[in-house]
Structure 1
Amino acid sequence: MIEVGALRALRAVAGLGTLARAAEELGFTASAVSQQLKRLERQVGVPVIAPAGRGVVLTPAGQAIVDSAPEVFQALERCAEAAQSVSEGTPRGVLRVVAFSTAIRGLLAPTLRALATTAPELQVHLTEQDPDQALRSVEAGAADLALVHDADGLPPPLPPSLTHRHIHTDVGDLVMSRTHPLAQYSGHALAMRAESSSAIPASQLRPLTAGDLAGQAWVTSPPGTVCHQWFRRLFADVPEEPDVRHLVDDFATQLALVEAGDVIALIPRLARPPLADGLVARPLQRRPTREVRAAWRRSADASPAIQAMLTELSRGRPAS
């Protein structure tokens, strides 16, 4: 009989192309994955992989096994769900969740405290992964639930074996020093009150536009990140290149640079810790947004653990 672990290993190799990457995805060593595949070949009596440059490819027999694997995993999960349903659907055991870093900070961390009360027999294990990797982990059975975000307005493509639910809309704001000119900028209102030492009420501070940002100095996330795409889109209709002084991926470091100098930053609300007294956030007229979705295997849809997590994520959504 084919071992489930060997089947999982073959599917990971099929998706990632090398034993090393499959091992990293599954949390094993490359040697352990190799041994699983050798046992699989002995069980079926034919080779399932073949060398290809620095990686491997599936043989026709190996591909046939991978094509049949979803039905096997769905049947196994239905067995597990049936067993859990005997206990009236009480969430228990371990729920493996993979998510991007700011979702862990802004969505999952606050949810864990609520789950400790509503599902005390459930343990949640979190792993930080980018959306593409997170979806592969769930599809391969290495994780149970993924939180992913869209890329440049397009949701990540879901394999047919996965389903999803919208969880949250994240929004980007400008963060700057309270002494920065834009902190109290409100167009004509600022000119009329230039002689006043009192702060302009927040209700009179209109959202900032791309035109308001001309000539400002910036700290921003590096190219290739969603936040850098947001930043570039701010200046899509502006002929002058923005004055980028710093490229930093860590948002806490961005805030430290904002507080220390004259730069401003564009930071998603999920990534933003409580602001220091010397900092202020201002909204943009064209708010940059990204949609956060939870994804899981269709065959695990009845999982009490997954449903408990989805329920608490829905209850605990931060304000957009």
Structure 2
Amino acid sequence: MIEVGALRALRAVAALGTLAKAAEELGFTASAVSQQLKRLERQVGVPVLAPAGRGVVLTPAGEAIAGSAPEVFQALERCAEAARSVADGAPRGTLRVAAFSTGIRGLLAPVLGRLAERCPELRVDITEQDPDQALRAVDAGTADLALVHDADGLPAPLPLALVRRHVHTDVGDVVLSRRHPLARVDGPLDAELSGQAWVTSPPGTVCHQWFRRLFAGAPAEPDVRHLVDDFATQLSLVATGEVLALIPRLARPPLGEGLVALPLRRPPKREVHAAWRRSADTSPAIRAVLAELG
């Protein structure tokens, strides 16, 4: 009988290309993953992996097994969900959630208290992961629910075995000191931002993309004084009154009395979705979390 763990290991190697990356994804050592795959080869009687440079590739037999694995995972999950539904349908056990950091801060953390009161037998374990990683984790079965945001307006590609639901729209505001002249502007900000000094997230981040788009088509480059990834540190620089910051609402720490957030006339936005395996669609635990997220 083929072990489920070996199937998950083979799928991870197929997606990531090396034993080391697959092991990191699954939370095992490379040696443990290698042993699982050797047992799989003994069980099926043919090699499933072949060396390829510094990595590995699946043999035709390995590809055939990996291609059939999702059906096995879905069947097992349907069995588990059937057992839960035969009980009273109350959420129980452990739900593994993979989510991006500001989604944890702004969406998950605020609902955990209510969820614990409503579902005392449910434990929620959260792991911070970027959207692509989170979707891979759910697809591989190492997470049950993912919270992901789109990238520059484009949703992350969704594996065929997964479904998603929109749960939130995140919006960026300009944060500034109450002593700054713009703090007295009545209404959303627009042209007033020209010529201001800024602290912004480093290139390669979603927030930096937002910032660049804010000044697309402007006659001059914005005056970026500081590149800082941590939003609390950005706020400490904004508090000096020297610079402004563009910060998503989900990511924004408490402002304190000396700072104010003002809306933009054309604010940058990102859509947040929850994603889970189709075979877990009736999961009481997933449904409970989705109900709290709204």
Supply the distance in 2 between the matched residues of 1:103 and 1:146 (Cα, whole angstroms).
10
Aligned residues: 294
Query: What residue in structure 2 maps to residue 174 of structure 1?
Result: 174
Question: Aligned partner of 1:182: which letter?
Answer: L
Supply the distance in 2 between the matched residues of 1:84 and 1:259 (Cα, whole angstroms).
52
1:78 aligns with 2:59: no
1:308 aligns with 2:288: yes
Q: 2:206 aligns with which of 226, 232, 235?
A: 226
Shift of 1:81: 0.3
Supply the distance in 2 between the matched residues of 1:55 and 1:170 (Cα, whole angstroms).
39
Q: Secondary structure at the match of 1:135?
A: helix
Supply the distance in 2 between the matched residues of 1:125 and 1:176 (Cα, whole angstroms).
36
Query: What residue in structure 2 maps to residue 194 of structure 1?
Result: none
What aligned pairs does 1:43-62 form with structure 2 within 5 A after superposition?
43-62=43-62
Q: Secondary structure at the match of 1:260?
A: coil
Query: What residue in structure 1 maps to residue 234 of structure 2?
Result: 254
Q: Secondary structure at the match of 2:56?
A: strand
Supply the distance in 1 between the matched residues of 2:29 and 2:127 (Cα, whole angstroms).
18
Q: Secondary structure at the match of 1:249?
A: coil
Query: What residue in structure 1 maps to residue 250 of structure 2?
Result: 270
Supply the distance in 1 between the matched residues of 2:240 and 2:89 (Cα, whole angstroms).
52
- Structure 1: 4+ residue segments shifted above 3 A: none
Could you say which structure has the larger radius of gyration? 1
Q: 1:243 aligns with which of 213, 217, 223?
A: 223
1:110 aligns with 2:110: yes
Q: 1:288 aligns with which of 255, 262, 268?
A: 268
TM-score (norm 2): 0.99
Shift of 1:9: 0.3
TM-score (norm 1): 0.91
Q: Deviations over 1:207-266 (max 9, x none)?
A: 001x21111111111111111111000110102011111111111111111113411100
Supply the distance in 1 between the matched residues of 2:128 and 2:43 (Cα, whole angstroms).
35
Q: Which runs of 5+ in 2 are unaligned?
A: none
Q: 2:192 aligns with which of 201, 212, 217?
A: 212
Supply the distance in 2 between the matched residues of 1:77 and 1:140 (Cα, whole angstroms).
12
Query: What residue in structure 2 maps to residue 63 of structure 1?
Result: 63
Q: Secondary structure at the match of 1:270?
A: coil
Shift of 1:276: 1.3
Query: What residue in structure 2 maps to residue 7 of structure 1?
Result: 7
Question: Aligned partner of 1:53: which letter?
Answer: G
Supply the distance in 2 between the matched residues of 1:281 and 1:127 (Cα, whole angstroms).
29
Contact kept? 2:180, 2:241, Cα under 8 Å: no
Q: Secondary structure at the match of 1:254?
A: helix
Question: Aligned partner of 1:77: which letter?
Answer: E
Contact kept? 2:176, 2:241, Cα under 8 Å: no
Shift of 1:111: 1.1
Q: Secondary structure at the match of 1:284?
A: coil
What aligned pairs does 1:137-216 form with structure 2 within 5 A after superposition?
137-185=137-185, 205-209=186-190, 211-216=191-196
Q: What CA RMSD, in Å, does the superposition of the two structures yield over aligned residues?
A: 0.8
Q: Secondary structure at the match of 2:276?
A: strand
Q: Deviations over 1:16-61 (max 9, x none)?
A: 1111111111111111000000000000011111111111111110
Shift of 1:12: 0.5
Supply the distance in 2 between the matched residues of 1:256 and 1:54 (Cα, whole angstroms).
45
Supply the distance in 1 between the matched residues of 2:47 and 2:198 (Cα, whole angstroms).
56
Query: What residue in structure 2 maps to residue 188 of structure 1?
Result: none
Supply the distance in 2 between the matched residues of 1:37 and 1:54 (Cα, whole angstroms).
18
Q: Secondary structure at the match of 2:158?
A: coil
Query: What residue in structure 1 maps to residue 20 of structure 2?
Result: 20
Question: Aligned partner of 1:7: which letter?
Answer: L
Supply the distance in 1 between the matched residues of 2:130 and 2:237 (Cα, whole angstroms).
26
Q: Deviations over 1:260-298 (max 9, x none)?
A: 341110000011122111101110000111000000000
Query: What residue in structure 2 maps to residue 317 of structure 1?
Result: none
Q: Which runs of 5+ in 1 are unaligned?
A: 186-204, 315-320
Shift of 1:170: 0.5
Question: Aligned partner of 2:203: which letter?
Answer: P
